[in-house]
Structure 1
Protein backbone atom coordinates (compact mmCIF):
# COMPACT_ATOMS: atom_id res chain seq x y z
CA UNK A 1 0.00 0.00 0.00
CA UNK A 2 1.47 3.41 -0.94
CA UNK A 3 1.62 6.20 1.66
CA UNK A 4 2.10 9.95 1.38
CA UNK A 5 3.53 11.61 4.50
CA UNK A 6 3.72 15.26 5.47
CA UNK A 7 6.12 16.26 8.26
CA UNK A 8 6.38 19.69 9.89
CA UNK A 9 9.95 21.04 10.11
CA UNK A 10 11.09 23.71 12.57
CA UNK A 11 13.86 25.67 10.78
CA UNK A 12 15.08 27.14 14.08
CA UNK A 13 16.17 23.76 15.45
CA UNK A 14 19.86 22.84 14.99
CA UNK A 15 18.81 19.39 13.82
CA UNK A 16 16.60 20.91 11.15
CA UNK A 17 19.33 23.26 9.93
CA UNK A 18 21.65 20.31 9.34
CA UNK A 19 19.02 18.69 7.15
CA UNK A 20 17.62 21.67 5.27
CA UNK A 21 20.91 22.58 3.62
CA UNK A 22 22.13 19.10 2.80
CA UNK A 23 20.00 16.74 0.67
CA UNK A 24 22.31 13.83 1.49
CA UNK A 25 21.61 14.19 5.21
CA UNK A 26 17.91 14.67 4.55
CA UNK A 27 17.96 11.46 2.51
CA UNK A 28 19.45 9.69 5.53
CA UNK A 29 16.76 11.11 7.80
CA UNK A 30 14.07 9.90 5.40
CA UNK A 31 15.56 6.40 5.27
CA UNK A 32 15.61 6.36 9.08
CA UNK A 33 11.81 6.41 9.03
CA UNK A 34 11.79 2.67 8.29
CA UNK A 35 12.78 -0.05 10.78
CA UNK A 36 14.29 -2.20 8.03
CA UNK A 37 16.15 -1.48 4.82
CA UNK A 38 13.54 -0.68 2.17
CA UNK A 39 13.80 -2.21 -1.29
CA UNK A 40 11.44 0.26 -2.92
CA UNK A 41 11.57 3.74 -4.37
CA UNK A 42 11.17 6.42 -1.69
CA UNK A 43 10.52 9.92 -2.99
CA UNK A 44 10.68 13.10 -0.96
CA UNK A 45 10.39 16.84 -1.46
CA UNK A 46 10.91 19.84 0.78
CA UNK A 47 8.17 22.45 0.35
CA UNK A 48 9.08 25.83 1.78
CA UNK A 49 6.31 28.12 0.55
CA UNK A 50 6.51 29.58 4.05
CA UNK A 51 10.24 29.46 4.93
CA UNK A 52 9.32 29.65 8.62
CA UNK A 53 7.08 26.57 8.36
CA UNK A 54 8.57 24.20 5.77
CA UNK A 55 7.10 20.76 5.23
CA UNK A 56 8.71 17.53 4.13
CA UNK A 57 6.65 15.30 1.83
CA UNK A 58 7.57 11.62 1.49
CA UNK A 59 5.97 9.05 -0.80
CA UNK A 60 6.52 5.33 -0.24
CA UNK A 61 5.20 2.61 -2.50
CA UNK A 62 4.57 -0.14 0.08
CA UNK A 63 6.02 0.64 3.52
CA UNK A 64 4.32 2.70 6.23
CA UNK A 65 6.98 4.90 7.87
CA UNK A 66 7.27 6.46 11.33
CA UNK A 67 8.51 10.06 11.58
CA UNK A 68 8.81 10.36 15.36
CA UNK A 69 12.57 10.88 15.06
CA UNK A 70 12.10 13.87 12.75
CA UNK A 71 9.51 15.42 15.03
CA UNK A 72 11.93 15.08 17.96
CA UNK A 73 15.07 16.24 16.15
CA UNK A 74 13.75 18.82 13.70
CA UNK A 75 10.17 19.67 14.61
CA UNK A 76 8.08 20.84 17.58
CA UNK A 77 7.99 17.67 19.71
CA UNK A 78 6.08 19.16 22.67
CA UNK A 79 3.81 21.60 20.81
CA UNK A 80 0.11 21.10 20.15
CA UNK A 81 -1.07 19.86 16.80
CA UNK A 82 -0.24 17.02 14.45
CA UNK A 83 3.53 16.93 13.88
CA UNK A 84 3.26 14.56 10.95
CA UNK A 85 0.61 12.58 9.22
CA UNK A 86 0.72 9.51 7.00
CA UNK A 87 -2.12 8.96 4.53
CA UNK A 88 -3.07 6.08 2.29
CA UNK A 89 -2.27 7.15 -1.29
CA UNK A 90 -4.42 4.44 -2.91
CA UNK A 91 -7.67 6.47 -3.24
CA UNK A 92 -5.96 9.12 -5.37
CA UNK A 93 -4.31 6.52 -7.59
CA UNK A 94 -7.61 4.72 -8.09
CA UNK A 95 -9.47 7.92 -9.02
CA UNK A 96 -7.22 8.72 -11.98
CA UNK A 97 -9.00 8.61 -15.33
CA UNK A 98 -8.11 9.74 -18.83
CA UNK A 99 -9.09 13.33 -19.51
CA UNK A 100 -9.05 14.48 -15.88
CA UNK A 101 -7.10 17.63 -15.09
CA UNK A 102 -5.22 18.42 -11.89
CA UNK A 103 -3.03 21.12 -10.47
CA UNK A 104 0.48 19.77 -9.99
CA UNK A 105 3.81 20.54 -8.38
CA UNK A 106 7.12 18.98 -9.28
CA UNK A 107 10.60 19.66 -7.98
CA UNK A 108 13.04 18.24 -10.50
CA UNK A 109 16.69 18.11 -11.50
CA UNK A 110 16.56 19.01 -15.22
CA UNK A 111 19.67 17.64 -16.92
CA UNK A 112 21.15 16.87 -20.30
CA UNK A 113 23.76 14.34 -21.37
CA UNK A 114 26.70 15.68 -23.34
CA UNK A 115 30.21 14.53 -24.20
CA UNK A 116 31.52 18.08 -24.45
CA UNK A 117 30.43 20.17 -21.43
CA UNK A 118 31.59 23.76 -21.17
CA UNK A 119 33.10 23.15 -17.75
CA UNK A 120 33.82 19.94 -15.86
CA UNK A 121 33.36 19.51 -12.14
CA UNK A 122 36.23 18.02 -10.13
CA UNK A 123 34.46 14.65 -10.11
CA UNK A 124 33.97 14.76 -13.89
CA UNK A 125 37.59 15.80 -14.43
CA UNK A 126 38.76 12.80 -12.42
CA UNK A 127 36.49 10.51 -14.43
CA UNK A 128 37.72 11.92 -17.75
CA UNK A 129 41.35 11.57 -16.67
CA UNK A 130 40.83 7.97 -15.55
CA UNK A 131 39.20 7.10 -18.89
CA UNK A 132 42.02 8.74 -20.79
CA UNK A 133 44.68 6.84 -18.85
CA UNK A 134 42.92 3.51 -19.35
CA UNK A 135 42.23 4.16 -23.02
CA UNK A 136 38.50 3.58 -22.57
CA UNK A 137 35.77 5.60 -24.21
CA UNK A 138 34.39 8.52 -22.19
CA UNK A 139 30.66 8.29 -21.74
CA UNK A 140 28.51 11.40 -21.82
CA UNK A 141 28.47 13.68 -18.80
CA UNK A 142 25.22 14.55 -17.05
CA UNK A 143 25.01 18.33 -16.89
CA UNK A 144 22.27 20.35 -15.24
CA UNK A 145 20.33 22.83 -17.37
CA UNK A 146 21.28 26.30 -16.21
CA UNK A 147 18.67 28.62 -17.68
CA UNK A 148 14.97 28.87 -16.88
CA UNK A 149 14.12 28.41 -20.56
CA UNK A 150 16.15 25.20 -20.80
CA UNK A 151 14.68 23.84 -17.56
CA UNK A 152 11.13 24.49 -18.72
CA UNK A 153 11.98 22.97 -22.10
CA UNK A 154 13.23 19.84 -20.30
CA UNK A 155 9.84 19.32 -18.67
CA UNK A 156 7.83 20.02 -21.82
CA UNK A 157 9.95 17.53 -23.74
CA UNK A 158 9.38 14.88 -21.08
CA UNK A 159 5.64 15.46 -21.42
CA UNK A 160 5.83 14.39 -25.08
CA UNK A 161 6.62 10.86 -23.91
CA UNK A 162 3.36 8.85 -23.56
CA UNK A 163 5.03 6.68 -20.90
CA UNK A 164 4.67 9.39 -18.24
CA UNK A 165 0.88 9.35 -18.53
CA UNK A 166 0.06 13.07 -18.76
CA UNK A 167 0.46 16.16 -20.87
CA UNK A 168 0.29 19.86 -20.11
CA UNK A 169 -2.57 21.66 -21.86
CA UNK A 170 -2.22 25.13 -23.31
CA UNK A 171 -4.02 28.19 -22.03
CA UNK A 172 -5.22 31.32 -23.77
CA UNK A 173 -2.89 34.32 -23.64
CA UNK A 174 -3.45 37.19 -21.24
CA UNK A 175 -5.75 39.97 -22.49
CA UNK A 176 -4.11 42.51 -24.76
CA UNK A 177 -2.89 45.74 -23.13
CA UNK A 178 -4.98 48.85 -23.41
CA UNK A 179 -4.77 50.67 -26.79
CA UNK A 180 -2.09 53.30 -27.00
CA UNK A 181 0.35 51.65 -24.58
CA UNK A 182 2.34 50.18 -27.48
CA UNK A 183 3.37 47.07 -25.53
CA UNK A 184 4.29 43.73 -27.15
CA UNK A 185 1.58 41.10 -26.87
CA UNK A 186 1.91 37.40 -27.61
CA UNK A 187 -1.35 35.99 -28.97
CA UNK A 188 -0.24 32.35 -29.11
CA UNK A 189 -1.43 29.81 -26.48
CA UNK A 190 1.14 28.87 -23.82
CA UNK A 191 1.65 25.71 -21.75
CA UNK A 192 -0.20 25.79 -18.42
CA UNK A 193 2.95 25.57 -16.32
CA UNK A 194 5.27 28.01 -14.58
CA UNK A 195 8.77 27.70 -13.20
CA UNK A 196 8.22 28.98 -9.67
CA UNK A 197 11.60 28.39 -8.05
CA UNK A 198 15.17 27.67 -9.10
CA UNK A 199 17.94 26.71 -6.71
CA UNK A 200 21.49 25.42 -6.64
CA UNK A 201 22.52 23.43 -3.56
CA UNK A 202 26.16 22.61 -2.79
CA UNK A 203 26.72 19.89 -0.23
CA UNK A 204 29.08 17.14 0.88
CA UNK A 205 28.29 13.54 1.69
CA UNK A 206 31.10 13.55 4.26
CA UNK A 207 32.57 16.42 6.24
CA UNK A 208 35.77 16.46 4.18
CA UNK A 209 34.31 14.89 1.05
CA UNK A 210 34.05 16.27 -2.46
CA UNK A 211 31.61 19.14 -2.83
CA UNK A 212 28.61 18.15 -4.96
CA UNK A 213 26.20 20.46 -6.76
CA UNK A 214 22.49 19.90 -7.32
CA UNK A 215 20.48 22.27 -9.52
CA UNK A 216 16.73 22.12 -9.00
CA UNK A 217 13.66 23.64 -10.62
CA UNK A 218 10.16 23.68 -9.15
CA UNK A 219 7.27 23.61 -11.61
CA UNK A 220 3.63 24.33 -10.89
CA UNK A 221 0.72 24.21 -13.30
CA UNK A 222 -2.01 22.10 -14.76
CA UNK A 223 -1.78 18.62 -16.24
CA UNK A 224 -4.19 16.37 -18.11
CA UNK A 225 -4.26 12.61 -17.59
CA UNK A 226 -3.62 10.73 -20.84
CA UNK A 227 -2.90 7.23 -19.49
CA UNK A 228 -3.98 6.55 -15.87
CA UNK A 229 -1.79 3.47 -15.40
CA UNK A 230 1.29 5.22 -16.78
CA UNK A 231 0.63 8.23 -14.54
CA UNK A 232 0.39 5.94 -11.50
CA UNK A 233 3.85 4.61 -12.34
CA UNK A 234 5.16 8.18 -12.71
CA UNK A 235 3.67 9.26 -9.37
CA UNK A 236 5.18 6.28 -7.54
CA UNK A 237 8.48 6.17 -9.43
CA UNK A 238 9.21 9.87 -9.80
CA UNK A 239 10.28 12.00 -12.74
CA UNK A 240 13.88 12.75 -13.66
CA UNK A 241 17.17 12.07 -11.84
CA UNK A 242 18.39 12.75 -8.27
CA UNK A 243 15.32 11.16 -6.69
CA UNK A 244 17.25 10.21 -3.54
CA UNK A 245 18.09 13.88 -3.02
CA UNK A 246 14.65 15.47 -3.03
CA UNK A 247 13.80 15.57 -6.74
CA UNK A 248 11.20 13.79 -8.84
CA UNK A 249 8.15 13.78 -6.55
CA UNK A 250 5.10 14.83 -8.57
CA UNK A 251 2.03 15.72 -6.49
CA UNK A 252 -1.52 16.45 -7.62
CA UNK A 253 -4.30 18.62 -6.22
CA UNK A 254 -7.80 19.61 -7.35
CA UNK A 255 -7.90 22.59 -9.68
CA UNK A 256 -9.11 25.84 -8.21
CA UNK A 257 -11.93 27.56 -10.18
CA UNK A 258 -9.58 29.99 -11.90
CA UNK A 259 -7.31 27.16 -13.13
CA UNK A 260 -10.25 25.02 -14.19
CA UNK A 261 -11.48 27.73 -16.55
CA UNK A 262 -8.03 28.86 -17.72
Structure 2
Protein backbone atom coordinates (compact mmCIF):
# COMPACT_ATOMS: atom_id res chain seq x y z
CA UNK A 1 0.00 0.00 0.00
CA UNK A 2 1.06 3.58 -0.67
CA UNK A 3 0.10 6.83 1.05
CA UNK A 4 0.36 9.83 -1.26
CA UNK A 5 -0.36 13.54 -0.96
CA UNK A 6 -1.59 15.38 -4.06
CA UNK A 7 -2.18 19.09 -4.60
CA UNK A 8 -3.96 20.65 -7.55
CA UNK A 9 -1.57 22.74 -9.69
CA UNK A 10 -2.21 26.05 -11.40
CA UNK A 11 -4.09 25.53 -14.63
CA UNK A 12 -5.92 27.76 -17.14
CA UNK A 13 -9.14 25.90 -16.31
CA UNK A 14 -8.48 25.82 -12.56
CA UNK A 15 -11.86 27.33 -11.63
CA UNK A 16 -13.76 24.77 -13.72
CA UNK A 17 -11.67 21.92 -12.32
CA UNK A 18 -12.30 23.01 -8.73
CA UNK A 19 -16.01 23.22 -9.53
CA UNK A 20 -15.96 19.64 -10.83
CA UNK A 21 -14.12 18.50 -7.71
CA UNK A 22 -16.92 20.02 -5.66
CA UNK A 23 -19.23 17.30 -6.96
CA UNK A 24 -18.57 14.01 -5.15
CA UNK A 25 -19.12 11.75 -8.14
CA UNK A 26 -17.01 13.83 -10.55
CA UNK A 27 -14.31 14.08 -7.91
CA UNK A 28 -14.30 10.30 -7.62
CA UNK A 29 -13.98 9.94 -11.40
CA UNK A 30 -11.09 12.41 -11.62
CA UNK A 31 -9.17 10.66 -8.87
CA UNK A 32 -9.72 7.26 -10.49
CA UNK A 33 -7.84 8.60 -13.55
CA UNK A 34 -4.72 8.82 -11.39
CA UNK A 35 -4.33 5.06 -11.65
CA UNK A 36 -3.45 2.95 -14.68
CA UNK A 37 -6.73 1.84 -16.25
CA UNK A 38 -7.69 -1.80 -16.05
CA UNK A 39 -11.00 -2.93 -17.56
CA UNK A 40 -11.96 -5.16 -14.64
CA UNK A 41 -10.38 -3.14 -11.84
CA UNK A 42 -12.50 -2.14 -8.89
CA UNK A 43 -11.75 0.84 -6.68
CA UNK A 44 -8.61 0.00 -4.72
CA UNK A 45 -7.96 3.30 -3.00
CA UNK A 46 -9.27 5.49 -0.17
CA UNK A 47 -8.94 9.23 -0.07
CA UNK A 48 -9.51 12.31 2.03
CA UNK A 49 -9.87 15.83 0.73
CA UNK A 50 -8.89 19.03 2.46
CA UNK A 51 -8.10 22.55 1.31
CA UNK A 52 -4.58 23.95 1.22
CA UNK A 53 -3.94 27.57 0.21
CA UNK A 54 -7.41 27.79 -1.24
CA UNK A 55 -7.30 24.74 -3.47
CA UNK A 56 -8.11 21.04 -3.07
CA UNK A 57 -5.49 18.71 -1.63
CA UNK A 58 -5.84 14.95 -1.24
CA UNK A 59 -4.39 12.15 0.82
CA UNK A 60 -4.74 8.84 -1.01
CA UNK A 61 -4.12 5.35 0.31
CA UNK A 62 -3.82 2.96 -2.64
CA UNK A 63 -2.51 -0.42 -3.73
CA UNK A 64 -0.85 1.19 -6.75
CA UNK A 65 1.10 4.46 -6.79
CA UNK A 66 -0.83 7.21 -8.61
CA UNK A 67 0.25 8.61 -11.96
CA UNK A 68 -0.39 12.05 -13.41
CA UNK A 69 -1.62 11.60 -17.00
CA UNK A 70 -3.27 15.03 -17.29
CA UNK A 71 -0.54 16.99 -15.51
CA UNK A 72 -3.05 18.54 -13.09
CA UNK A 73 -1.40 17.50 -9.83
CA UNK A 74 1.71 17.90 -7.79
CA UNK A 75 2.21 14.38 -6.51
CA UNK A 76 4.54 14.02 -3.55
CA UNK A 77 6.62 10.81 -3.64
CA UNK A 78 4.32 7.97 -2.53
CA UNK A 79 5.30 6.49 0.83
CA UNK A 80 5.01 2.75 1.48
CA UNK A 81 2.31 2.22 4.09
CA UNK A 82 2.97 -0.74 6.38
CA UNK A 83 2.12 0.37 9.93
CA UNK A 84 3.68 -1.41 12.89
CA UNK A 85 1.08 -1.65 15.59
CA UNK A 86 0.90 -2.98 19.11
CA UNK A 87 -1.80 -3.24 21.75
CA UNK A 88 -1.94 -0.18 23.97
CA UNK A 89 -0.31 2.09 21.38
CA UNK A 90 -1.72 5.62 21.38
CA UNK A 91 -2.17 7.47 18.10
CA UNK A 92 -3.52 10.81 16.99
CA UNK A 93 -6.14 10.33 14.29
CA UNK A 94 -8.25 12.07 11.67
CA UNK A 95 -11.35 10.49 10.16
CA UNK A 96 -13.96 11.81 7.76
CA UNK A 97 -16.80 9.32 7.82
CA UNK A 98 -20.33 8.69 6.64
CA UNK A 99 -21.89 7.66 9.97
CA UNK A 100 -25.11 5.72 9.49
CA UNK A 101 -27.43 3.49 11.48
CA UNK A 102 -29.63 0.74 10.06
CA UNK A 103 -33.38 0.97 10.56
CA UNK A 104 -35.60 -1.60 8.82
CA UNK A 105 -32.66 -2.68 6.65
CA UNK A 106 -32.08 0.88 5.43
CA UNK A 107 -29.20 3.19 6.25
CA UNK A 108 -29.95 6.49 7.92
CA UNK A 109 -27.67 9.43 8.67
CA UNK A 110 -27.04 9.25 12.46
CA UNK A 111 -27.73 12.96 12.97
CA UNK A 112 -31.04 12.90 11.12
CA UNK A 113 -31.94 9.64 12.84
CA UNK A 114 -31.29 11.22 16.23
CA UNK A 115 -33.44 14.22 15.30
CA UNK A 116 -36.27 11.91 14.29
CA UNK A 117 -36.06 9.84 17.48
CA UNK A 118 -36.33 12.89 19.74
CA UNK A 119 -39.09 14.52 17.66
CA UNK A 120 -36.93 17.48 16.65
CA UNK A 121 -39.28 18.80 13.95
CA UNK A 122 -42.26 19.03 16.33
CA UNK A 123 -40.30 20.48 19.26
CA UNK A 124 -40.61 24.15 20.13
CA UNK A 125 -37.38 25.83 19.05
CA UNK A 126 -36.48 26.77 22.63
CA UNK A 127 -36.66 23.13 23.73
CA UNK A 128 -34.46 21.69 21.01
CA UNK A 129 -30.97 20.59 22.07
CA UNK A 130 -28.17 22.59 20.50
CA UNK A 131 -27.33 21.11 17.10
CA UNK A 132 -23.56 20.85 17.82
CA UNK A 133 -24.37 18.83 20.95
CA UNK A 134 -26.70 16.53 19.02
CA UNK A 135 -24.04 16.06 16.32
CA UNK A 136 -21.41 15.24 18.93
CA UNK A 137 -23.57 12.76 20.85
CA UNK A 138 -24.77 10.88 17.75
CA UNK A 139 -21.30 10.94 16.18
CA UNK A 140 -19.56 9.58 19.28
CA UNK A 141 -22.18 6.86 19.65
CA UNK A 142 -21.41 5.74 16.08
CA UNK A 143 -17.65 5.95 16.65
CA UNK A 144 -17.92 3.80 19.78
CA UNK A 145 -19.50 1.02 17.69
CA UNK A 146 -16.73 1.33 15.11
CA UNK A 147 -14.09 1.18 17.85
CA UNK A 148 -15.46 -2.11 19.16
CA UNK A 149 -15.49 -3.61 15.67
CA UNK A 150 -12.13 -2.27 14.50
CA UNK A 151 -9.75 -2.81 17.39
CA UNK A 152 -9.42 0.55 19.12
CA UNK A 153 -10.86 2.62 21.93
CA UNK A 154 -10.95 6.30 22.81
CA UNK A 155 -11.98 8.71 25.52
CA UNK A 156 -14.85 10.94 24.38
CA UNK A 157 -13.18 13.94 26.02
CA UNK A 158 -10.21 13.46 23.64
CA UNK A 159 -12.25 13.44 20.44
CA UNK A 160 -13.69 16.40 18.54
CA UNK A 161 -16.73 15.86 16.31
CA UNK A 162 -17.66 18.53 13.77
CA UNK A 163 -17.90 19.34 10.06
CA UNK A 164 -21.36 17.86 9.58
CA UNK A 165 -22.38 18.13 5.90
CA UNK A 166 -25.06 16.67 3.67
CA UNK A 167 -23.94 15.86 0.12
CA UNK A 168 -25.98 15.36 -3.03
CA UNK A 169 -24.65 14.16 -6.34
CA UNK A 170 -25.77 12.08 -9.32
CA UNK A 171 -24.51 9.09 -11.20
CA UNK A 172 -26.41 9.35 -14.46
CA UNK A 173 -30.09 9.29 -13.53
CA UNK A 174 -29.37 7.96 -10.04
CA UNK A 175 -29.45 10.45 -7.18
CA UNK A 176 -26.87 9.88 -4.44
CA UNK A 177 -27.23 11.35 -0.95
CA UNK A 178 -24.83 10.96 1.96
CA UNK A 179 -23.60 12.89 4.97
CA UNK A 180 -20.18 13.34 6.53
CA UNK A 181 -18.73 14.04 9.95
CA UNK A 182 -15.12 14.81 10.88
CA UNK A 183 -13.53 13.16 13.91
CA UNK A 184 -10.22 14.37 15.35
CA UNK A 185 -8.54 13.06 18.47
CA UNK A 186 -6.52 10.37 20.21
CA UNK A 187 -7.16 6.63 20.24
CA UNK A 188 -5.57 3.51 21.71
CA UNK A 189 -5.07 0.30 19.75
CA UNK A 190 -6.71 -2.73 21.41
CA UNK A 191 -6.41 -5.31 18.62
CA UNK A 192 -3.52 -4.64 16.20
CA UNK A 193 -4.81 -6.97 13.46
CA UNK A 194 -8.33 -5.57 13.47
CA UNK A 195 -6.98 -2.03 13.55
CA UNK A 196 -4.57 -2.70 10.66
CA UNK A 197 -7.52 -3.94 8.62
CA UNK A 198 -9.40 -0.71 9.43
CA UNK A 199 -6.43 1.36 8.28
CA UNK A 200 -6.14 -0.52 4.99
CA UNK A 201 -9.84 -0.93 4.19
CA UNK A 202 -11.39 2.14 5.78
CA UNK A 203 -14.30 2.61 8.15
CA UNK A 204 -17.97 2.98 7.29
CA UNK A 205 -19.77 3.43 3.94
CA UNK A 206 -19.35 5.98 1.10
CA UNK A 207 -15.65 5.15 0.68
CA UNK A 208 -15.92 5.97 -3.03
CA UNK A 209 -16.75 9.55 -2.05
CA UNK A 210 -13.87 10.42 0.25
CA UNK A 211 -15.09 8.77 3.46
CA UNK A 212 -13.51 6.16 5.69
CA UNK A 213 -9.78 6.87 5.43
CA UNK A 214 -8.33 6.77 8.95
CA UNK A 215 -5.16 8.87 9.08
CA UNK A 216 -2.97 8.29 12.15
CA UNK A 217 0.36 9.45 13.53
CA UNK A 218 2.43 8.54 16.55
CA UNK A 219 2.25 10.78 19.58
Which TM-score bucket, shorter chain as reference?
A: 0.7 to 0.9
Tell me which residue corresponds to 2:167. 201
2:184 aligned with 1:251: no
Q: Contact conserved, 2:99 with 2:180, CA < 8 A, in 1? A: yes
TM-score by length of 1: 0.66
1:106, CA displacement in angstroms?
A: 0.4
Instruction: Find the aligned partners of 2:42 and 2:27 in 1 and give their Cα distance.
Output: 18
Aligned pair partner of 1:143 in 85, 108, 111:
108
> CA 1:63–1:158 in 2, change beyond 3 Å: closer, same or farther?
same
Tell me which residue corresponds to 2:95. 106
2:144 aligned with 1:153: no
1:68, CA displacement in angstroms?
A: 4.5
Instruction: Find the aligned partners of 2:108 and 2:33 in 1 and give their Cα distance.
Output: 30
SS in 1 for 2:29: helix
Q: For each residue in 1:15-48, what CA deviation from the matched residue of structure 2 results, as whole angstroms up to 9, or x when unmatched? A: 12211x2111111112111113334631111123
Tell me which residue corresponds to 1:227. 191
SS in 1 for 2:94: strand
> CA 1:10–1:216 in 2, change beyond 3 Å: closer, same or farther?
farther
Tell me which residue corresponds to 2:121. none
> CA 1:23–1:229 in 2, change beyond 3 Å: closer, same or farther?
same
Can you give the 5+ residue segments of structure 1 that lack an aligned partner in the other structure? 76-82, 116-139, 171-189, 256-262
SS in 2 for 1:160: helix
Tell me which residue corresponds to 1:89. 80
Q: Contact conserved, 2:90 with 2:187, CA < 8 A, in 1? A: yes
Q: Contact conserved, 2:3 with 2:81, CA < 8 A, in 1? A: no
Structure (1 or 2) with the larger CA radius of gyration: 1
Instruction: Find the aligned partners of 2:77 and 2:182 in 1 and give their Cα distance.
Output: 23
1:66, CA displacement in angstroms?
A: 0.9
Q: For each residue in 1:135-185, what CA deviation from the matched residue of structure 2 results, as whole angstroms up to 9, or x when unmatched? A: xxxxx2111112512122101122122xx12111x3xxxxxxxxxxxxxxx
Q: How many residues align?
A: 191
Q: For each residue in 1:61-98, what CA deviation from the matched residue of structure 2 results, as whole angstroms up to 9, or x when unmatched? A: x31221353x52xx5xxxxxxx221423335x1x2222
SS in 2 for 1:239: coil
> CA 1:230–1:40 in 2, change beyond 3 Å: closer, same or farther?
farther
Q: Contact conserved, 2:100 with 2:110, CA < 8 A, in 1? A: yes
SS in 2 for 1:236: helix
